[in-house]
Chain A
């Protein structure tokens, strides 16, 4: 069963087209992540789904019903915002209860659902505090709690972790993943952080300039990118791109290899000088200047005695190499 269907959705602000021909199916229980660089339209798409923006054309169905003309509150969705957007004058309890009160749910139902959400998110001790008295992580949990109590058909997350510090971000990420498992709810999550996308998603939707570039599972996208943009966008450090003639293939095309698939190999086709080394403990990253304005990033697992200004020769596994046509599309021929 599909939880959300978008067909040929367009959105423009004046003359600027922000979303172009977006079509997408989301199954019930799926965790879908929209990812893309800033300004690619991912947040706008989420707001169109939420009903905070109208689609210029195209159809939006939530659980089978066309909702183009349905106000946000009646779409059966709940949204978690980047800035938490808690009501400053209400306590945590009232923040979570407000939507249910608006729906005129009976008092005991409201109390039960709030208690349940507070239990899941460990907010029990804070129910009578106001948002100003909470830390960033707690506020984000309240915002998530506010979404949970509504028992929506669709959860929408708009970059919920980008205001948190790194350690908290990881904890909250795991919490969201667990929440998805526990609730079995359909979730749509917008982020520009590819770690979040890779770790949380059942399905990643890569957007660029208002278009969908590729849809697929995280590993699918990582191993089998449809074009140079997707290949370069997913993976950190990002994929190296070189003119194909540097590795002895026919010119015009672009050769791509991930940093972890380059090896130090005295018989390899690439050689250059190490300009910078980052030792992370678990990994060692090195930037190698190949001359002619080309440089590649090399990722070695574990700790390596590699040093700057050293000359190295690099090889790669041809099965892990990618080739792209001049227009950026993937070229299947080796």
Chain B
């Protein structure tokens, strides 16, 4: 920002507001983290104090790592999230490309139909989905989750991506056609790199709900070997007794992978936004 427009009062107010927001957003995460490192007594006596010599304990993490196959849960969650995101982005982008690029009868109707899913919560169909998965023999497989999450994510992906694809220059695609590129090459090599920011947006939007979902893992894949992290953490929450050390430790560990994924996508997001403007 240039010197003339910089006003110390404004700067202070702006930073103050941002810092306040950051504190509010990070506070629950902070509380979870510090309490995951305390003894049970420490958690309940003074939930907001940092762990000290008396209250410090790794008991929660030990419980989590001993009981249940925590790394398998992380692996399941990662597989489900990454594969679902991949399928959502691939099929969503392809459908969006077709809708924005080709004139065919029923184009608008098809677009509306594909976007309709945004308005209908997929959980309404849980019973039918469960019956379908039973018939297909997919219960207690990761595929059942991947299929459901892909279906859940596609409408919004198609909606957002087709809007962005319309903005990709027609001349560029036509230049590709004249140079003899196939429609697939045009899609993968010319169009996709240009809508990368939109792809990252769609990925981030879809990632968090999939990662955190408890509903479908509980219904479709509750078996030990297909448990996701969120479902796996539930064993520590009992009807009468809750092992808070373990719950908080599990939650702390669950933040990490999703944080890494987020950093990857958001970097794409920023790179995409600035690539044309800065050069």
| Chain A residues in the interface with B (C-beta under 8 A) | 47, 50-52, 71-74, 77-79, 81-89, 98-99, 102-103, 132-133, 146, 158
Contacts and interface: CB of A to CB of B under 8 A. Distances in A.
B137 interface: no
B171 A83 contact: yes
Contacts of A72: 174, 177-178
B180 A81 contact: no
Given A87-B172, A87-B190, A77 B178 contact: yes
Given A79-B175, A82-B171, A83-B171, A73 B180 contact: yes
Contact of A99 (B171, B179, B193, B275): B179
25 contacts: A47-B174, A52-B177, A52-B178, A71-B177, A72-B174, A72-B177, A72-B178, A73-B178, A74-B180, A77-B178, A78-B178, A79-B174, A82-B171, A84-B171, A85-B171, A85-B174, A86-B175, A87-B172, A87-B190, A88-B193, A89-B193, A98-B179, A99-B178, A102-B179, A102-B181
B172 A73 contact: no
Contacts of A158: 171
B125 interface: no
Nearest to A98: B179
B51 to A, nearest CB: 50
A73 B174 CA distance: 10
B238 interface: no
Nearest to A81: B171
B208 to A, nearest CB: 30
Q: Which 6 A-B pairs have the closest CB atoms?
A: A73-B180, A102-B180, A85-B171, A99-B179, A85-B175, A81-B171
B279 A81 contact: no
Interface of B: 169, 171-172, 174-181, 189-190, 193-194, 275-276, 279
A73 B193 contact: no
A71 B176 CA distance: 12
Contacts of B181: 73, 98, 102
A79 B169 contact: no
A72 B194 CA distance: 23
Given A83-B172, A84-B171, A146-B175, 8 more contacts: A73-B179, A73-B180, A74-B180, A81-B171, A82-B171, A86-B175, A99-B180, A102-B181
Nearest to B177: A72
Nearest to B193: A89
A87 B174 CA distance: 11
A85 B279 contact: no
